[in-house]
């Protein structure tokens, strides 16, 4: 027995005296290596906390607690419309990002507009391109439909009432922005539908006194349609609206989380 | 230890560096109470709110059980994943079965016979066709005070605005349409109005007079609302009896 005090923290010796399989030994050695550098042990509490959070018991809903299911189960699909809008939004975001790789928002000088030609190329030449555009378009259509129906569900079940006014107003803004998303989106192919819808948009903004001309300049890049219009619609569709709408959806869902779902009684 | 006990102030960074609170040192509560102005009223309100919350919890007869429902994992998670996958699958199926149409290339020289936006903007586009009811004022010699286009834009603003302020008009804890026939009727009228407005842009295409379509666009929502109101009023009595009985059996009035 030596007089020298043993190092209690000699992990190597501790590892050597244990009989471990190869997998266990490799695992422990890498764990010790990482822990020496990043002190994982300090974050164990966080991990533990996370573990218990994901293993929470969901509280029984009002309808389950008071056994009202016999009256209400057939309404339940309508209570999923909000999440369906979010799922459709995510599908549209992913397919839209892929479409953005191949689309160019340009009208060009002669011949067919470049925007139109790129979409023709996506649909005819690109592998899976036809399906990609189809997915994007249907996701958009379904999202708008789901948002409308979601609003009707909220209205007819009285879920918008005090104390949920703020979320209703955010919802109305989100509905308007969803339609704006759709509008800026279907202007992008620069086909007949797009052009004349844009024409209506310009006429609408020009009809407003005082700020009308300024709005037309800002949103449509002039009083007649052309390259500036297309480019602005593109930036609105792929840059401005995604950020705004995503942030608003996060707030909207966060408020639902805080206030709880307004269940029927 | 003996060094630390000396009361001499030291500036070399050693020592605990924390002064033990004595009687002179205000607590955080006292500090907050001594504030003035906005922070003072904020503090007072939050104190009131906390007390209110505490009182309501103590008075409440709501029984909290230890285990209230399903575990998040796996029950809730698997159910949510199943619903999300089903919905996404439905979306992909739809895309494969009904591919979109890419119309003719934009041509400023050729106005299409029917100009229509995507379906979800039909109601809004319809509101731009309200020129027959744009009022003419006698004081300006029978001229319209605003252009038909502006009138249509304002109609859009009004519709969205009315929808936005609904929660400030209708309050209370009623949840079901039968409990509030008026608001349910308003909702049904609104939905029908959205559909009838959608046919205004193509009102010339019907084989009868344009005026008939235009009038119907306003009468049909009113008729639908009236029918809804009558039906719900009739249902109401028996239904509310059942509802109240169950409600008060579950939570007897104190």
pLDDT in tens, B55-65: 988 888 766 65
Q: What angle do CA A241, A246, A247 make, to 5 degrees?
A: 105
Residues B221-230 have pLDDT tens digits of 999 999 999 9
A157/A208 Cα distance (integer angstroms): 37
A117/A140 Cα distance (integer angstroms): 22
Q: What is the 3-state secondary structure (H, E, C) of A107-148?
A: CCCCCCCHHHHHHHHHHHCCCCHHHHHHHHHHHHHHHHHHHH
Q: Kindly tell me if the per-residue pLDDT of B66 is higher than 70.
A: no
Banded model confidence at residue A173, pLDDT cuts 50, 70, 90: very high
B190/B192 Cα distance (integer angstroms): 5
pLDDT averaged over every residue in chain A: 90
Within chain A, residue ranges assigned H as helices are 11-17, 22-38, 44-54, 62-65, 69-72, 81-100, 114-124, 129-156, 165-187, 192-207, 212-215, 227-235, 241-259
**Least reliable range by pLDDT among A26-35, A200-209, B3-12, B103-112:** B3-12
Phi-psi region at B73: left, alpha or beta (left = phi > 0; alpha = psi -120 to 50): beta
Banded model confidence at residue A6, pLDDT cuts 50, 70, 90: low
B85/A90 Cα distance (integer angstroms): 13
A163/A142 Cα distance (integer angstroms): 29
CB A145 within 8 A of CB B121: no
**Least reliable range by pLDDT among A95-109, A194-208, A247-261, B104-118:** B104-118
Task: Looking at the structure, tell me whether residues A140 and A225 fall in a common domain.
Answer: yes
Integer angstrom CA distances of residue B143 from A212, B134, B136, B146, B148: 22, 10, 5, 9, 12
Task: Looking at the structure, tell me whether residues A87 and A114 fall in a common domain.
Answer: yes
Integer angstrom CA distances of residue B86 from B82, B83, B89, B92, B214: 6, 5, 5, 10, 42
* Domain total of chain A: 2
Q: What are phi and psi of B66, to 5 degrees?
A: -65, -50
Q: Specify the length of chain A in residues.
A: 265
What is the 8-class DSSP label of residue A191? B
**Among partner residues A116, A168, A262, which is closest to B105 by beta-carbon distance?**
A116
The CATH number for A172's domain is 1.20.810.10
- Rounded to an integer, the average pLDDT of B170-186 is 89
CB A230 within 8 A of CB A194: no
pLDDT given for residue B63 in this prediction: 63
A162/B166 Cα distance (integer angstroms): 10
pLDDT given for residue A75 in this prediction: 78
Tokens read off for B254: 């104190």
Chain A residues whose beta carbon lies within 8 Å of the beta carbon of residue B166? 155, 160, 168
**Least reliable range by pLDDT among A138-142, A226-230, B6-10, B78-82:** B6-10
Tokens read off for A101: 């790789």
- More reliable by pLDDT, B162 or B110: B162
Task: Looking at the structure, tell me whether residues A29 and A132 fall in a common domain.
Answer: no
Range(s) of the domain holding residue A27: 11-54
**Helix (H/G/I), strand (E/B), else coil: B71:** strand
Task: Looking at the structure, tell me whether residues A120 and A164 fall in a common domain.
Answer: yes
B149/A145 CB distance under 8 A: no
Q: What percent of chain A has pLDDT over 70?
A: 93
Tokens read off for B8: 């001499």
pLDDT given for residue B17 in this prediction: 64
Task: Looking at the structure, tell me whether residues A23 and A74 fall in a common domain.
Answer: no
Q: Is residue A265 part of a domain?
A: no
Q: How far is B35 from chain A (nearest CA, A)?
A: 30
B115/A196 CB distance under 8 A: yes
Integer angstrom CA distances of residue B51 from A136, A192, A255, A258, B15: 52, 64, 24, 20, 41
Task: Looking at the structure, tell me whether residues A200 and A120 fall in a common domain.
Answer: yes
Chain A residues whose beta carbon lies within 8 Å of the beta carbon of residue B149? 203-204, 206-207
Task: Looking at the structure, tell me whether residues A91 and A17 fall in a common domain.
Answer: no
The sign one gets for the Cα dihedral B180, B182, B184, B186 is negative
Nearest chain B alpha carbon to A119: B102
- Rounded to an integer, the average pLDDT of A22-29 is 92
Chain B residues whose beta carbon lies within 8 Å of the beta carbon of residue A59? 68-69
Q: Kindly tell me if the per-residue pLDDT of B1 is higher than 50.
A: no
- Please name which of A237, A142, A152, A230 lies closest in space to residue A191, comparing C-alpha atoms: A230
Residues B9-52 have pLDDT tens digits of 666 666 666 666 777 778 878 887 778 888 888 888 888 999 99
Tokens read off for B105: 């290339």
B69/A172 CB distance under 8 A: no
pLDDT given for residue A92 in this prediction: 97
- Please name which of B146, B132, B211, B164 lies closest in space to residue A165, comparing C-alpha atoms: B164
Q: Kindly tell me if the per-residue pLDDT of A12 is higher than 90.
A: no
pLDDT given for residue A236 in this prediction: 96
Q: Kindly tell me if the per-residue pLDDT of A262 is higher than 70.
A: yes
Tokens read off for A171: 């919802």
Task: Looking at the structure, tell me whether residues A35 and A75 fall in a common domain.
Answer: no
Task: Looking at the structure, tell me whether residues A80 and A18 fall in a common domain.
Answer: no
Q: What percent of chain B has pLDDT over 70?
A: 87
What is the 8-class DSSP label of residue A75? G
Nearest chain B alpha carbon to A130: B99
Task: Looking at the structure, tell me whether residues A45 and A82 fall in a common domain.
Answer: no
DSSP assignment of B114-179: S----GGGHHHHHHTT-GGGS-EEGGGTSEESS-HHHHHHHHHHHHHHHHHTHHHHS-SS--SGGG
B67/A57 CB distance under 8 A: yes
Task: Looking at the structure, tell me whether residues A16 and A134 fall in a common domain.
Answer: no
Tokens read off for B20: 């033990």
A25/A42 Cα distance (integer angstroms): 22
Q: How far is CA B24 from the centre of its chain?
A: 52
Map out the domains of chain B as residue ranges: 118-250
- Please name which of A28, A46, A65, A52 lies closest in space to residue A260, comparing C-alpha atoms: A65
pLDDT given for residue B198 in this prediction: 94
Q: Specify the length of chain B in residues.
A: 254
Q: Is residue A117 part of a domain?
A: yes
Determine contact: A203 vs chain B, CB below 8 A.
Answer: yes
Q: How far is CA A108 from the centre of its chain?
A: 33
Q: Kindly tell me if the per-residue pLDDT of A1 is higher than 60.
A: no
Q: Is residue A264 part of a domain?
A: no
**Among partner residues B67, B72, B87, which is closest to A87 by beta-carbon distance?**
B87
**Range A154-178 burial, b when 16+ CB lie within 10 A, else e:** bbbbbbbbeebbebbbebbbbbebb
Task: Looking at the structure, tell me whether residues A239 and A127 fall in a common domain.
Answer: yes
A259/B69 Cα distance (integer angstroms): 19
């Amino acid at each position: 027995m030596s007089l020298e005090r043993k190092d209690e923290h000699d992990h190597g010796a501790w590892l050597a005296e244990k009989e471990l399989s190869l997998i266990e030994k490799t695992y422990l050695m890498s764990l010790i290596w990482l822990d020496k550098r990043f002190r994982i042990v300090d974050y164990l509490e966080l991990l533990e906390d996370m573990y218990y959070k994901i293993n929470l018991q969901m509280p029984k809903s009002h309808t389950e607690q008071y056994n009202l299911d016999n009256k209400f189960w057939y309404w339940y699909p309508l209570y999923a419309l909000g999440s369906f809008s979010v799922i459709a939004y995510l599908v549209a975001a992913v397919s839209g990002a892929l479409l953005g790789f191949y689309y160019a928002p340009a009208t060009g000088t002669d011949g067919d507009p470049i925007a139109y030609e790129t979409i023709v190329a996506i649909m005819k030449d690109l592998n899976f391109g036809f399906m990609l555009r189809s997915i994007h378009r249907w996701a958009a259509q379904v999202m708008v439909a789901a948002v409308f129906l979601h609003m009707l569900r909220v209205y007819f079940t009285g879920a918008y009432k005090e104390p949920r006014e703020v979320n209703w107003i955010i919802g109305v803004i989100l509905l308007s922005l969803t339609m704006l998303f759709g509008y800026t989106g279907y202007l992008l192919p620069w086909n007949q539908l797009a052009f004349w819808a844009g024409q209506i948009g310009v006429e609408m903004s020009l009809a407003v006194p005082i700020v009308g001309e300024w709005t037309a300049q800002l949103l449509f890049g002039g009083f007649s349609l052309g390259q500036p219009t297309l480019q602005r619609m593109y930036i609105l569709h792929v840059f401005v609206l995604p950020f705004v709408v995503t942030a608003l959806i996060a707030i909207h869902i966060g408020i639902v989380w805080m206030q709880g779902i307004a269940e029927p009684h | 230890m003996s060094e630390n006990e000396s009361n001499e102030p030291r500036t070399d960074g050693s020592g605990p560096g924390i002064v033990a609170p004595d009687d002179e040192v205000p607590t955080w509560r006292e500090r907050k109470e001594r504030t003035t102005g906005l922070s003072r009223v904020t503090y007072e309100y939050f104190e009131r709110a906390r007390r209110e919350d505490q009182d309501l919890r103590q008075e409440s007869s709501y029984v909290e059980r230890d285990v209230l429902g399903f575990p998040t994992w796996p029950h809730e998670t698997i159910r949510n994943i199943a619903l999300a996958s089903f919905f996404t699958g439905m979306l992909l199926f739809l895309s494969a079965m009904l591919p979109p149409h890419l119309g003719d290339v934009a041509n400023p020289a050729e106005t299409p016979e029917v100009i229509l936006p995507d379906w979800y903007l039909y109601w809004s586009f319809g509101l731009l066709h309200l020129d027959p009811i744009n009022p003419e004022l006698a004081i300006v010699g029978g001229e319209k005070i605003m252009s038909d286009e502006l009138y249509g834009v304002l109609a859009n603003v009004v519709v969205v605005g009315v929808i936005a302020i609904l929660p400030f008009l209708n309050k209370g804890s009623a949840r079901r349409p039968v409990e509030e026939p008026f608001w349910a009727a308003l909702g049904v009228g609104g939905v029908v109005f959205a559909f009838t407005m959608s046919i205004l842009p193509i009102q010339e295409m019907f084989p009868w007079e344009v005026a008939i379509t235009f009038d119907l666009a306003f009468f049909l929502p009113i008729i639908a609302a009236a029918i809804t109101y009558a039906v719900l009023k009739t249902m109401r009595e028996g239904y509310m009896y059942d509802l109240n009985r169950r409600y008060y059996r579950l939570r007897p009035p104190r």
